[in-house]
Amino acid sequence: MQLQNSALWRTQALINGEWLAGSRQFAVLNPADGSVLAQVADLGADDTRRAIEAAAAAMPAWQQLPAVQRSNVLWRWYELLLDNQEDLARLMTAEQGKPLAESRGEIAYGASYVRWFAEEARRVYGDIIPLPQADRRGLVIHQPVGVVAAITPWNFPNAMIARKVAPALAAGCAVVLKPAAETPLSALAMAELALQAGVPAGIFNVITATDAPAVGAEMTSNPQVRKVTFTGSTPVGKLLLQQCATTVKRTSMELGGNAPVIIFDDADLDLAINGTLAAKFRNAGQTCICSNRLLVQAGIYPEFVRRLQEAVAAFRVGNGMDEGVTQGPLISPQAVAKVHAKVQAAQAGGAQLVCGGELSPLGEYFYPPTILTGVTPAMAVWQEEIFGPVAPVLKFTTEAEAIALANDTNAGLAAYLFSRDMGRCWRVSEALQYGMVGVNETAISSEQIPFGGVKESGSGREGSKYGLQDYLETKYICMGGL
Ligand code: ADP
């Protein structure tokens, strides 16, 4: 494909500042039409080990730089990401499918983390603790956790990397990244810009690979890796946690969600409709904070469903590169099949189709925006993360019932509620067992806030002043003999 800046077209992996074609390659497909976009280096466990060694060797010099110098490099990276926003967005839409406007937004969103951690890099403070002995003081300093292995998914091919690599680099760590095999081009273009920004060889390595278990096994067992940070599915997160136990690594896990949106009778309906649509159908429903379950109070239920249907009817599904398209393809035909199976099972269990629900005439990568009513908590569409453009709606009566339904899941990432009653907003926010709650708002994410979940949605926080802590160790020094 044609890019304004041809340097961003990278199909080789990056180890110790050198681009590597590898002995094998894998195809990257465009989900809008199934065509082959590129052949990318397919590396394995041995290459991963070499990257980890390179990272460990490069890290001491990076760690010892004054923080302001690491900050300056991150600032340059931030500027380069924005200077190349259009190319990066087109690459993303080509390999991931989301509408170009969403891709542009993600490039800016990802870059915002790089800027934030360029700023935060200079604010790693310690403490001095008064001790009971007159001749001693307790000191606390924060040091980089060590070599970081990062594994990222395909749904946000840029931002999920920026959120991990930027704080790691700010803290003084070196990173070995394995991006998803569906979307390696975005990762490699980011790495190219990081090199241009002055990130030293070995500090940011990218292992492109199809054998994720082999690469993951090396990352989680190699004693030189001190931290594994992962965004992806809950089963893979659990596996990585088990594997990390053998060498007791620090971990951050951003796993699956099952977000409820609770719409109370007293909600501002315009806000609730717009917020619900944005949270449900962005990226064709393939985000971990997508509203997965719509709980609507009985008093406004009929009007809410009618207005939701009207709004969804205005959507345009198609190739994300085309002007005016609001929903692109899903990532793969397998993803479409999974979503469709959940919809069919719900219908078989008694749910009613308001719209969508049929395989798309646009082809095997597409699924129409779908609304299901009469859903029950027993259905897979309610219990499991859908990761597709399907909105299951359930009617409830009381606040207590809504809270119980919302919390009845192993996931605990994001939840949303719409109400004009201040007391209810507080009560329900506090009662929801989630890491993030949006009240009358679903666009809750930004670099300033701590993004992360509880329960089986994971641990650790990305962004905000807390995000840097995930890449720092706390060291106590007892200063005696004063
Ligand atoms: P999804 O179903 O959304 O693709 P995954 O959890 O399978 O979610 O993928 C997220 C990331 O985890 C991808 O980079 C993928 O290659 C990687 N991955 C999948 N399985 C493993 C594994 N066994 N070990 C390490 N990484 C894995």
Q: Is the CB of 235 under 6 A from ligand 1?
A: no
Backbone φ and ψ of 26, nearest 5°: -130, 155
Backbone φ and ψ of 309, nearest 5°: -60, -45
Residue 24: pLDDT above 90?
yes
pLDDT band at 438 (very low <50, low <70, confident <90, very high): very high
Q: In what order do the strands lie in the sheet with 458-459?
A: 18-20, 13-15, 204-206, 175-178, 147-151, 225-231, 250-254, 458-459
Residue 324: pLDDT above 90?
yes
Backbone φ and ψ of 250, nearest 5°: -70, 145
Both structure tokens of 447: 């670099």
Q: How much of the chain is helix, strand and coil, in % rounded to 5? A: 40, 20, 35
HSE-CB of 156 using CA atoms within 13 angstroms: 24
Residue 286: pLDDT above 90?
yes
Average pLDDT over residues 213-227: 98
Average pLDDT over residues 209-223: 98
Residue 224: pLDDT above 90?
yes
Tens of pLDDT, residue by residue over 291-307, are: 999 999 999 999 999 99
Q: Which residue among 96, 177, 233 has the greatest number of ligand 1 atoms within 8 angstroms of its CB, and so is best to mutate?
A: 233
pLDDT band at 119 (very low <50, low <70, confident <90, very high): very high
Amino acid at 473: E
Q: What's the Cα-to-Cα distance from 134 to each of 27, 85, 403, 478, rounded to whole Å? A: 67, 57, 53, 12
Closest C-alpha residue for ligand 1 atom 13: 180
Residue 133 to residue 147: CA distance in whole angstroms? 37
Both structure tokens of 189: 């273009």
Contacts of 420 (CB under 8 A, 6+ apart): 266, 267, 268
Amino acid at 313: A
Task: Map tokens 């609730």 to a residue.
Answer: 272
Q: Is the CB of 214 under 6 A from ligand 1?
A: no
Q: What is the pLDDT of residue 238?
A: 98
Residue 478 to residue 137: CA distance in whole angstroms? 6
Q: Is the CB of 67 under 6 A from ligand 1?
A: no
Nearest to 365 by CA among 401, 400, 336: 336
Asked whether the beta carbons of 413 and 431 are under 8 A apart, the reply is no
Nearest to 180 by CA among 153, 204, 159, 158: 153
Q: Considering the chain, what is the average pLDDT of its residues? A: 98
Residue 150 to residue 204: CA distance in whole angstroms? 10
Query: Measured in whole angstroms, how far is the alpha carbon of residue 429 from the centre of its chain?
Result: 23
Average pLDDT over residues 391-404: 98
Residue 251 to residue 244: CA distance in whole angstroms? 8
pLDDT band at 115 (very low <50, low <70, confident <90, very high): very high
Average pLDDT over residues 158-187: 98
Asked whether the beta carbons of 176 and 150 are under 8 A apart, the reply is yes
Q: What is the pLDDT of residue 101?
A: 98
Q: What's the Cα-to-Cα distance from 152 to each of 181, 207, 250, 415, rounded to whole Å? A: 10, 11, 17, 23
Which residues does residue 451 pair with via DSSP β-bridges, in sequence order?
A: 462
Nearest to 206 by CA among 164, 242, 236: 164
Amino acid at 133: Q
Residue 88 to residue 112: CA distance in whole angstroms? 15
Q: What is the pLDDT of residue 419?
A: 98
Ligand 1 center–CA 213 separation, angstroms = 8
Residue 386: pLDDT above 90?
yes
Q: What is the pLDDT of residue 65?
A: 98
Is the torsion defined by CA of 176, 197, 193, 326 positive or negative?
A: positive
Tens of pLDDT, residue by residue over 228-267, are: 999 999 999 999 999 999 999 999 999 999 999 999 999 9
ipTM score here? 0.99
pTM greater than 0.90: yes
Residue 152 CA, closest ligand 1 atom number: 14
Q: Is the CB of 232 under 6 A from ligand 1?
A: yes
Query: Is 254 noted as a catalytic residue in this protein?
Result: yes
Catalytic residue among 106, 218, 254, 462: 254
Please enumerate, as own/partner, the contacts of 296-300 that have beta carbons within 8 Å and a separation of 24 or more.
296/263, 296/393, 296/394, 296/395, 296/396, 297/263, 297/264, 297/265, 297/395, 297/396, 297/397, 297/402, 298/265, 298/395, 298/396, 298/397, 299/265, 300/263, 300/265, 300/267, 300/269
pLDDT band at 478 (very low <50, low <70, confident <90, very high): very high
Is the torsion defined by CA of 67, 70, 74, 79 positive or negative?
A: positive
Q: Is the CB of 236 under 6 A from ligand 1?
A: yes
Burial class (CB in 10 A: 0-12, 13-18, 19+), 112: buried
Name the percent of the chain lying above pLDDT 70: 100
pLDDT band at 1 (very low <50, low <70, confident <90, very high): confident
Ligand 1 center–CA 184 separation, angstroms = 13
- The stretches of 172-317 forming alpha helices (DSSP H) are 184-197, 212-221, 234-245, 269-281, 301-313
Q: What is the pLDDT of residue 250?
A: 98
